[in-house]
Structures are given as C-alpha cells and as structure tokens.
C-alpha cells in the first residue's frame, strides 16, 4: 500500500478540533480497514481530503456538483488514483448539531449560550466522526442508495465506530467556539 496523506480544512467558523487527534483516528481506522470489511482497499492510497463546512457552504456544493440545493450532512467526491488522490469528504458540522437536537444558529449572541453540555459534546463529537466515517466508507466502495446496500453501509459504520471507540485513538473531540 502506498503512503496515505491527509489534507484537513476547517471552513466552519465555530468548529474546533485537534488535527492530530482526527488524523490519529483516521490512521487507526485505516489500519483496521479489513475489520470494517472495506470492499475496495485500493482507495487507501493517495491523498484523502477532509473539509468541515457550514450548512450553507455544503448546500452550495450539493447544488453545484449534484444539482440538488438542499442541505445535507456529508458529500463525498471520488478521487483520481492517477493524480494521487483518494477523494474528498465534506462534512457539515451544523448537520451534526441538528442531529443531536441543537439549532446551529443557537448561541450566537452570548458566549455562555454557545457551550454544549458534556453529554451534548460527546454526542456532537460522535456525530461529526460518524459523518467522516460515512464519507470514508463511500470512498471505500459502500453505497447507500438502495435499501440492501444502505443496511450494509450502516453495519460498516457501526463496525468502524466500534473500532474507533475501543481503540487507542478514540473518537476525536469536536467543539464549538
């Protein structure tokens, strides 16, 4: 297997995370790709780009590249092995907030109102990580457009999240400023 490189870009104005922690989790996940049952291990080569965005920015990508202007949680772009790219995973941190029951616009006026409780923080970090895993699985060959394939992807997501939770890398911590 060729050496994997990662590119991380945070374009969400409030999202904060330790880049080393995210990379450590991704490397741990990739080291255990066989346990996740990755159907296309060749995707583990080349640069993998991860981008964190707002709902608005991800909806613009959704409209531009997939002709669908609706808000979504993750968009995955396939790479080009001949150019040394594995693909790009674009994640909406706002979608993760909504999924745990928090309005992304909440708390823009006061610093105290922006803080998440410890339980919310844990859920938020797990949800953002799940979106990264979901995009990673798309690049690995999983699809979720048909019910049977969607069930297979959900099982792979569960395996990947279990690998992260029980491994030394753990679930990366994502916070809001």
CATH code at position 85: 3.40.390.30
Identify whether 65 is part of a domain: yes
Q: How many domains does the chain have?
A: 1
Tell me how far apart the alpha carbons of residues 61 and 68 are, in angstroms, rounded to a whole number. 9
Q: Residue 107: give the domain boundaries.
A: 4-168
Tell me how far apart the alpha carbons of residues 101 and 109 are, in angstroms, rounded to a whole number. 19
User: Model's pTM, two decimal places?
Assistant: 0.91
* Residue 96 token pair: 């993760």
- 61 pLDDT more than 80: yes
Identify whether 175 is part of a domain: no
Q: Binding site: what residues are annotated?
A: 134, 138, 144
Q: Binding site for Zn(2+): what residues are annotated?
A: 134, 138, 144
What pLDDT, on a 0 to 100 scale, did the predictor assign at position 1? 46
What confidence tens digit (pLDDT) does each residue in 117-166 have?
Answer: 888 889 999 999 999 999 999 999 999 989 999 999 999 999 999 999 99
To the nearest 10 degrees (0 to 180), the angle between helices 147-166 and 118-140 is 120
Identify whether 84 is part of a domain: yes
What pLDDT, on a 0 to 100 scale, did the predictor assign at position 63? 87
Identify whether 174 is part of a domain: no
- 111 pLDDT more than 80: no
Burial readout 136-155 (b: 16 or more C-beta within 10 A, e: otherwise): bbbbbebebeeeeeeebbee
What pLDDT, on a 0 to 100 scale, did the predictor assign at position 9? 97
Percent of the chain with pLDDT over 90: 66
Which element (helix H / strand E) includes 132? helix 118-140
What's the chain's average pLDDT?
Answer: 89
Collect all residues with Cβ–Cβ distance below 8 Å to 28 and sequence separation of at least 6. Answer: 163, 164, 167, 168, 169
CA neighbor of 47 nearest in space, from 17, 19, 77, 12: 77
Strand intervals (E) in the chain: 4-10, 15-17, 46-53, 74-78, 85-92, 174-176
């Amino acid at each position: 297997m060729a050496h994997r490189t990662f590119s991380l870009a945070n374009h969400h104005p409030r999202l904060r995370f330790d880049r080393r922690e995210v990379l450590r989790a991704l490397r741990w996940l990739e080291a255990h790709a066989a346990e996740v049952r990755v159907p296309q291990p060749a995707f583990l080569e080349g640069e993998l780009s991860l981008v964190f965005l707002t709902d608005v920015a991800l909806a613009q990508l959704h409209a531009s590249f997939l002709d669908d202007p609706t808000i979504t949680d993750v968009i995955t772009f396939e790479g080009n092995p001949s150019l040394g790219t594995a693909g790009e995973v674009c994640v909406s941190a706002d979608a993760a907030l909504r999924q745990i029951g928090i309005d992304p616009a909440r708390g823009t006026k006061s610093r105290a109102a922006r803080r998440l409780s410890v339980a919310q923080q844990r859920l938020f970090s797990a949800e953002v990580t799940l979106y990264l895993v979901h995009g990673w699985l798309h690049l690995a060959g999983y699809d979720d457009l048909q019910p049977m394939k969607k069930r297979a992807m959900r099982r792979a997501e569960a395996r990947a999240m279990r690998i992260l939770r029980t491994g030394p890398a753990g679930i990366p911590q994502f916070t809001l400023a």
